[in-house]
Amino acid sequence: MRFDNQVIAVTGGAQGLGFAIVEQFIEEGAQVTIIDIDQKAIDQALHSLSSDSVDSICSDVTDAAQVNEIISTIKEKHGRIDVLVNNAGIIRDNVIWKMPEEDYDSVMKVNLKGPWLMCREVAPIMRSQNSGRIVNIASRSWLGNVGQSNYSASKGGLVSMTRVLALELGKNNITVNAVAPGLIDTPMTRSLDPEVYKMLEQSNPCKKAGKPADIAHTVAFLSSDEAGFINGQVIHVDGGKSIGASVQ
């Protein structure tokens, strides 16, 4: 019970990685708020969790007014926020010469501006508590990936932002870290062409996709007391894909 009665907010928490993160925190005693734009997915998540330890807010993390409302609602209800997980993210893949400008803008907005807005609202609360943990879900793709000039740039930006916030908030006993997943089996990756999905699995040193729980365990560790001196880091959870290219 590492998170007994801790107040935790998870964006994009209704499905995929976010849902696994929510499940993990609830199992370890936390009060969790799911923040997601997809009401249907929220309803399914709440039904399947069937727990008094979870709340939900249907909101868009790219909208500053909605983000202000999200954080005020959690603060009013629980009086504090111990952990923020910025997990909501989208993909709109294409090679640059075929990528519409709106697909660049929407990916940057959800994957980079969303976490920035959330951190801006949460920072004063965590500073006044003199404690807190922020975990940003980046991606192995921040290192570069064909067809993801928008997505890789957004996740690279998120890594840079993580490092800056670690510097700005460390003195207030707040750590800020990033997790960079490789291919994980979620609704997002299952929306890819099945042939592409198979190819991605085969290009992994472990020859498989990861499970959402692999990410949830890492997020929980970074949010725990044991990780109190880990700050500004990116932890790759990708079966070794980030090490380099290999042909086998």
Catalytically annotated residues = 151
For residue 148, state whether it binds ligand NAP (rule: CB under 6 A). Answer: no
Distance CA 141, CA 155 (A): 7
**How remote is the C-alpha of 143 from its chain's centroid?**
17
What residues pair up with 82 in beta bridges, in sequence order? none
For residue 219, state whether it binds ligand NAP (rule: CB under 6 A). Answer: no
Distances (CA, A) of 145 to 44, 218, 248: 32, 23, 20
List the structure tokens of 212.
């959402």
Exactly one of 2, 27, 28, 38 binds ligand NAP (CB under 6 A); that residue is 38
What is residue 54's three-state secondary structure?
A: strand
Distance CA 67, CA 61 (A): 6
Exactly one of 12, 132, 157, 239 binds ligand NAP (CB under 6 A); that residue is 12
The residue assigned the tokens 């994009």 is 12
For residue 157, state whether it binds ligand NAP (rule: CB under 6 A). Answer: no
What residues pair up with 176 in beta bridges, in sequence order? 134
User: What minimum distance in Å lies between the beta carbon of 37 and ligand NAP?
Assistant: 4
The interface region with ligand NAP, picked from 12-20, 68-76, 164-172, 222-230 by CB under 6 A, is 12-20
For residue 18, state whether it binds ligand NAP (rule: CB under 6 A). Answer: yes
Exactly one of 119, 122, 184, 216 binds ligand NAP (CB under 6 A); that residue is 184
For residue 90, state whether it binds ligand NAP (rule: CB under 6 A). Answer: yes
Task: Note whether 156 and 142 are within 8 A (CB).
Answer: yes
Distance CA 101, CA 4 (A): 45
Exactly one of 62, 149, 150, 204 binds ligand NAP (CB under 6 A); that residue is 62
Exactly one of 61, 107, 166, 176 binds ligand NAP (CB under 6 A); that residue is 61
User: What minimum distance in Å lies between the beta carbon of 33 and ligand NAP?
Assistant: 12
List the structure tokens of 147.
């067809």
Residue 44: what residue type? Q
The interface region with ligand NAP, picked from 96-104, 142-150, 181-189, 222-230 by CB under 6 A, is 181-189
For residue 121, state whether it binds ligand NAP (rule: CB under 6 A). Answer: no
For residue 11, state whether it binds ligand NAP (rule: CB under 6 A). Answer: yes
Cross-sheet strand order for the sheet of 83-86: 54-58, 31-36, 7-11, 83-86, 132-137, 174-181, 234-237
Interface contacts to ligand NAP, rule CB under 6 A: 11-12, 14-18, 36-38, 41, 60-62, 87-90, 110, 114, 137, 139, 181, 183-184, 186-189
